[in-house]
Structure 1
Amino acid sequence: MGYSLEGKNAAVTGAASGIGWASSKALLEAGATVVLVDRDAKALERVCTGYDKAIPLVIDLLDTQACKTLMPGILERLNGTLDIFHANAGLYVGGDLVDADPDDIDRMLNLNINVVMKNVRDVIKHMSPNKTGDIIVTSSLAAHFPTPWEPVYASSKWAIDCFVQTTRRQVFKDGLRIGSVSPGPVITALLDDWPQEKLDEAKASGSLVEAKEIAEIILFMLTRPRGMTIRDVVVMPTNFDL
């Protein structure tokens, strides 16, 4: 089924790879103009090549001052209007809690929770006066199940899932929709930190999904009638065994 987002302006964080790039590509191919946000300038240049409506924006969202420039930078590139925002940038810390580096914990929690909250706050302030807009947040199956091999990461996604669902109750009166997509294991660079035996087992059993499959779900969420909100989509490979 084809979905049209012709004439829409969108922005995606963590857009140079993984789910972020798959989402950006799907939005572009549906007709949207997309600002792709990432800290990796070379990767952004590479993925934007060949797409007339792809606009790169290099920002390190973990830099507090740079993070404040996200919305002004997006609006400058989109002539002042943003219709769709996909908060996707994130980090992963897996393994036993006692083995986790405290600095890595700080960076992951900051990007996965604080940055998402601040970005979404700024997006809402822009969208609310227009009485329309869509916000999608990349969550995780880990937000719905206490995954034993990733307590730090899972905790960040439990927090952000609560944030999405409570914020939704504040903004629907302004015509805004906010929802999350919660994938199980997706073939992206985030899996590089998985325990090797768990990764080998998942690959062997067909227990991973492709990023483009998550992008198709995001398009479905964005193209529902305005009176319908897809609050949260939990998606996992059929063979994935919790």
Structure 2
Amino acid sequence: MGRLSVERQATAGWTVIAVDLPGERLDQLAQTPGVFPSPCDVSDPEQVGALTAAVIERFGSVDRLVNAAGIAIPGAIVDVSAADFERITNVNYLGTVHWVRAVVPHMRAQRSGDLVLYASFAGFLPTPGMGAYVATKFALVGFTETLAMELYGTGIRIRVVCPSAVATPMLDGIFANGLLDGMRKLSRTTAPETVVDAVDASLRRRRQSAFVFPDLTTKVLWRVRRFAPGLLAYATRRISEYAQK
């Protein structure tokens, strides 16, 4: 989804700073007009701050931040190591925090800017076997809702994106070790294009902050979670039990 966002915004005429760890995926983007590949470890606040400052110095402004960086580590909570909990938190949650802290002062000064922050339906739906990942996404949802309140009236718009299972290499990695084979049988995946389409549509509206639910499943789950959490917990347990048979 990050790569697709880069390509679409470059096609639309934006100057895009594409950020990833050093490697072939990032190097390939150098062939796309308007894209400037920039290696950076999002879990390192010093690297994030330095890159942000360099972008502002060279291009004059940061008008939109799209943060889709994320990793997944499947496993029961008691089976995931402390080191893995720390690693996934540093990337999924603190990586977002670092970017927001780096760009918001500049956006506030120019009284404009968009923050597009990728969470997940796992940010409001407890998912057995994905506790470490779920924890980071719950944190992101709470962080973004609070951020929207703090930035109200500043001219900065916020979108928190909550897709269901998306057909990406990360999802393939989640299922690769066989721990969630049962859930795989029941999963319906969403195309990355569907997610980015929903983000684009939301940004065409003037709302200061909004959740982006790219498919009907996430829209329904969000409402059930809000208004009937006990029912959702029961259904999730039963589905998890069925998937393991």
TM-score > 0.5 by shorter chain: yes
1:201 equivalenced with 2:185 (yes/no): yes
1:21 matched to 2:3? The reply is yes
Pairwise CA distance, 1:107: 0.7
SS at 1:86's partner residue? Answer: strand
1:31: which partner in 2?
Answer: 13
Match of 2:48? 67
One of 180, 190, 198 as aligned partner of 1:217: 198
Change (3 A) 1:199 1:230: same
**Distance across 1 between alignment mates of 2:88 and 2:41:** 13
Q: Structure 1: give runs of 5+ residues left out of the alignment.
A: 1-18
> After superposition, what is the alpha-carbon deviation per residue over 1:93-120, rounded to whole angstroms, capped at 9, x for unaligned?
2221122122111010011111211210
1:30-77 Cα distance to aligned partner (Å, 9 max, x none): 22221100113321121331x211111111223343233231133244
Alpha-carbon displacement from aligned partner over 1:135-165 (angstroms, at most 9, x marks no partner): 0100000011111221111111111101111
Residues 201 and 38 of structure 1: CA distance in aligned 2, closer, same or farther (over 3 Å) = same
Q: Using a 3 Å threshold, how does the CA distance of structure 1 residues 23 and 129 change in structure 2: closer, same or farther? A: same
What pairs with 1:1-242 in structure 2 (closer than 5 Å)? 19-49=1-31, 51-77=32-58, 79-191=59-171, 192-194=173-175, 195-198=179-182, 200-202=184-186, 207-225=188-206, 228-236=207-215
Larger Rg: 2
Post-superposition CA distance 1:195-217 (Å, at most 9, x none): 351464146xxx00111211111
Name whichever structure is richer in helix by fraction: 2
* Cα distance change, pair 101–26 in 1 and its aligned pair in 2 (3 A): same
- Equivalent pairs, count: 217
Letter of the 2:10 counterpart: L
How many angstroms apart in 2 are the aligned matches of 1:112 and 1:218? 19
Q: Normalising by structure 1, report the TM-score.
A: 0.82
Whichever residue aligns with residue 33 of structure 1, its letter is T
CA RMSD of aligned residues (A): 2.2
Q: Retained in 2: the 8 A contact 1:178–1:231? A: yes
CA distance in structure 2 between the aligned counterparts of 1:224 and 1:34, rounded to whole angstroms: 22
SS in 2 for 1:36: strand
Percent of aligned pairs with the same amino acid: 25
| Amino acid in the other structure paired with 2:204 | T
Instruction: Give 2:239's aligned residue.
Output: none
Q: Give the number of the structure with larger relative contact order, counting CA–CA contacts within 8 Å between residues 6 or more apart.
A: 1
Deviates most, 185-194 or 162-171: 185-194
Q: Quick check: 216-225 or 84-93, which moved more?
A: 216-225
Shift of 1:170: 1.1
Deviations 1:180-200 (A, max 9, x none): 000100111221123351464
Contact 1:87–1:120 under 8 Å retained in 2: no
Q: Distance in 1 between matches of 2:50 and 2:183?
A: 37
Asked whether the equivalents of residues 26 and 219 of structure 1 are also in contact (C-alpha less than 8 Å), the reply is no
Query: Matched residues in 2 for 1:76 and 1:211: separation?
Result: 32
Measured after TM superposition, the shift of residue 237 of structure 1 is 6.8
